[in-house]
Amino acid sequence: MLWVDKYRPKTLDKMIVHQEIAMNLKKLVSEHDCPHLLFYGPPGAGKKTLIMALLKQMFGPGAEKVKIENKIWKVDAGTRTLDLELTTLSSTHHVELNPSDAGFQDRYIVQEIIKEMAKSRPIDTKGKKGFKVLVLNEVDKLSREAQHSLRRTMEKYSASCRLILCCNSSSKVTEAVRSRCLNVRVNAPTEEQIIRVLEFIGKKEGLSLPTGLGSRIAAQSNRSLRRAILSFETCRVQQYPFTENQAVPPMDWEQYVSEIATDIVQEQSPKRLFLVRGKLYELLVNCIPPEIVLKKLLSELLKKLDSELKHEVCHWAAYYEHRMRMGQKAIFHIEAFVAKFMSIYKQFLIETFG
């Protein structure tokens, strides 16, 4: 098991970071009830950990006995019947699912499947009518329509189920959904907190972690705890005993993106654009989300850029990121960004160096 999973705190009491949030949540569910919740925050901040611990707090160890179900749902969509395949993770008390896995058909999941799940209401040991918890991941990736139907579901079945939503950016969740939930912001842990966690893990694993390395891992992790722990483990595999100035390897796709950035800066021509497209395809095939590719690409490009151009380049990146969200095929938009960058950069080179 990876260290990330191995040393994930299982209860709210054991949280190392976000202890305050954990305590608040504990108080919140002390009556065995809670409002709808929306956890949002950057990746690797600990949202999932909090949610899992919260479920355990609410339902006891029963929440940990989960099963995976991969089921094909027949959804009646007006004129035809759709088959939607959806993988869920469920215990007797909760169901966890990723509605956005269904792509543009996510609306049906929210409308039909969640309704289906929300209807069946468990009865707890005391004969009191209980409620079921639905954990929805990546709510911000849901289409607008899906979010609207989600709103209705939340109202209609609020008696029998609680929704716990989890997403990176609450700005991509509609106002209507947000206002029906208790919003819990989970900040990215500070670097000190990350170092503390790394040290904790190091102690448990019986490793001696030099402070320099620890802080470098934390700095490179971009304040993502998960990322930090993963790199920590990678470092451990690559070289032990640790040294102060040991390299912390980046993820392979990140390296690839920075190669792309180099390609772009080297030459600006349709031919080069075509080459870049091929490399971008490579990333997309490996399921790297296009938003992340674009973001990473931008940050790599900015490193190599004269500050004069940064503003404009950022503007276009934002523009095409928005386009990408509205559109369907990400490559069209990423490529448009790359082309725009090339065009700007070439213009700049001509102006500066003639």
* Footprint on residues 74-103 left by other proteins (CB under 8 A): 77-78, 83, 85, 87, 89, 96, 98, 101, 103
Residue number with CB closer to other proteins (31 or 83): 83
CA angle centred on 191, ends 287 and 201, rounded to 5°:
80
- Shortest distance in whole angstroms from residue 345 CB to other proteins: 9
Structure tokens at 221: 């992790």
Q: Which stretch binds other proteins (CB under 8 A): 113-121, 123-131, 208-216, 341-349?
A: 341-349
Q: Distance from first CA to last CA of the chain, Å, rounded?
A: 57
Binders of other proteins in range 233-252 (CB under 8 A): 233-234, 237-238, 249, 251-252
- Shortest distance in whole angstroms from residue 220 CB to other proteins: 13
The amino acid at 148: H
- Check binding of 132 to other proteins (CB under 8 A): no
The alpha helices in 29-142, defined as continuous H runs, are 47-59, 106-108, 114-119
Per-residue CA distances from 21 to 16, 28, 47, 192 (Å): 11, 10, 10, 18
Structure tokens at 43: 């990746």
Binders of other proteins in range 37-76 (CB under 8 A): 43, 48, 51-52, 64-70, 72
**How many whole angstroms separate alpha carbon 44 and alpha carbon 50?**
12
| Residue 127 Rama label (left phi>0; alpha psi -120 to 50; beta) | left
Among 2, 23, 318, 349, binds other proteins (CB under 8 A): 2
Distance of alpha carbon 12 from its chain centroid, rounded?
A: 21
- Check binding of 352 to other proteins (CB under 8 A): no
Strand partners, 97: 88, 136
Residue given tokens 């992340």 in the structure block: 292
Residue number with CB closer to other proteins (196 or 277): 277
Binding mask 274-293 for other proteins (x = CB under 8 A): x--xx--x--xxxxxx--x-
Binders of other proteins in range 160-199 (CB under 8 A): none
Size of the site for other proteins (CB under 8 A): 79
Q: Which stretch binds other proteins (CB under 8 A): 32-40, 141-149, 186-194, 298-306?
A: 141-149
- Shortest distance in whole angstroms from residue 159 CB to other proteins: 27
